[in-house]
């Protein structure tokens, strides 16, 4: 795409779009250009519909099609300033299915199968707080407020900050990891290169290995841990509004309209990580 690629990348970054989304949008548009063998400036609605139909015929999932439509809408609507080209192309309907979650006993098996202290701390933090894996990986040492019992999530999805509780069990795991590895940079979970943080893909691989070792017959991803966290909170009696704040769901207006949770209430919320493996946890979570 040449110059157009650079313009779109600039427009995405000016909108403060997440780095991973920037990469995906640019890839989608590059795929479209390679397929069409023409500049997007020369193509219109018919060419776009033909390309999307080809993706669908080749077995693209509704989620994948939605990503391509979003990327192309941004390209034509923002970078090229021709929103009319994509106006008649709707987002595909994505079926909403209930996620598979892990029981409390399955979570215990998963934790026990993690050999690395760092990976165990990352996974325990992910499940114990419900953070997105990108949010966990980018945590800095200064974001952990042990005395207040809170974690400061900076620049989360849509650029929003929020607080989540810091469960004592997670804090203990973090302290154990800290004593063993002593990371030197600002990143709480350092990457292999100096000044970097652990990559989400590294966590996914660690989870995959732990699942195989534990014998769990489920596909476990970092996002599944987030779903499990929310479901377990519901089963433990936590109200939906508190869960919405902890997960950082919805627009800021929606959050302000329906939910106003103070930091002290977040601090008093019991994380499911505190009860798994106990009698209470077995009765409530299985």
Architecture in CATH for domain 3-85: Orthogonal Bundle (1.10)
Q: Which of 64, 157, 213, 282 is catalytic?
A: 157
Q: Is 258 annotated as catalytic?
A: yes
Kindly report, residue by residue over 28-68, the tens digit of the pLDDT: 999 999 999 999 999 999 999 999 999 999 999 999 999 99
Q: CA–CA separation, 68 vs 24, rounded Å?
A: 9
- Catalytic member of 27, 158, 249, 260: 249
For the chain, give percent helix, strand, coil, nearest 5: 60, 5, 35
Q: Is 119 a catalytic residue?
A: no
The ranges of the chain annotated as CATH 1.10.150.130 are 3-85
Annotated catalytic residue 13: no
Q: Which residue has the tokens 């989870």?
A: 207
Measured distance CA(6)–CA(216) in Å, rounded: 45
Q: Mean per-residue pLDDT for 15-22?
A: 84
Residue intervals of the chain classified under CATH 1.10.443.10 are 104-285
Check whether domain 104-285 has CATH 3.40.640.10, yes or no: no
DSSP 8-state code for residue 85: G
Q: Is 160 a catalytic residue?
A: no
Per-residue pLDDT, 237: 77
pLDDT digits (tens, 9 = 90+) for 183-227: 887 999 998 888 889 999 999 999 999 999 999 998 899 989 988
> Is pLDDT at 266 greater than 70 in this prediction?
no
Catalytic entry in 208, 218, 219, 258: 258
| pLDDT classification of 256: cutoffs 50, 70, 90 | very low
- Point out the catalytic residue in the list 73, 119, 120, 226: 226
């Amino acid at each position: 795409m040449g110059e157009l690629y650079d313009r779109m990348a600039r427009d995405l970054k000016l909108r403060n779009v997440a780095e991973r989304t920037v990469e995906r949008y640019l890839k989608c548009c590059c795929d479209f250009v390679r397929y069409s063998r023409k500049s997007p400036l020369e193509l219109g609605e018919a060419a776009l519909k033909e390309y999307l139909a080809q993706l669908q015929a080749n077995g693209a999932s509704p989620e994948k099609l939605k990503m391509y439509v979003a990327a192309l809408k941004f390209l034509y609507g923002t970078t090229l300033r021709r929103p009319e080209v994509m106006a008649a192309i709707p987002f595909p309907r994505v079926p909403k299915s209930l996620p598979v979650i892990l029981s409390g006993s399955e979570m215990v098996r998963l934790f026990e199968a993690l050999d690395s202290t760092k990976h165990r701390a990352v996974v325990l933090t992910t499940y114990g707080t419900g953070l997105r894996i990108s949010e966990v990986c980018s945590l800095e040492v200064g974001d952990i407020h042990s005395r207040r019992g809170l974690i400061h999530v900076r620049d989360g999805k849509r650029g929003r900050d929020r607080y989540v509780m810091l469960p004592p069990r997670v804090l203990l795991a973090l302290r154990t990891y800290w004593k063993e590895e002593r990371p030197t940079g600002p990143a709480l979970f350092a990457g292999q290169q100096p000044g970097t943080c652990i990559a989400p893909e590294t966590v996914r691989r660690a989870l995959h290995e732990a699942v195989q070792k534990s014998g769990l017959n489920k596909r476990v991803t970092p996002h599944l841990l987030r779903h499990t966290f929310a479901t377990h909170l519901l089963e433990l009696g936590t109200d939906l509004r508190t869960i919405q704040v902890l997960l950082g769901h919805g627009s800021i207006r929606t959050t302000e309209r329906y939910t106003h949770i103070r930091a002290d209430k977040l601090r008093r919320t019991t994380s499911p990580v505190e009860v798994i493996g106990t009698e209470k946890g077995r009765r409530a979570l299985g």
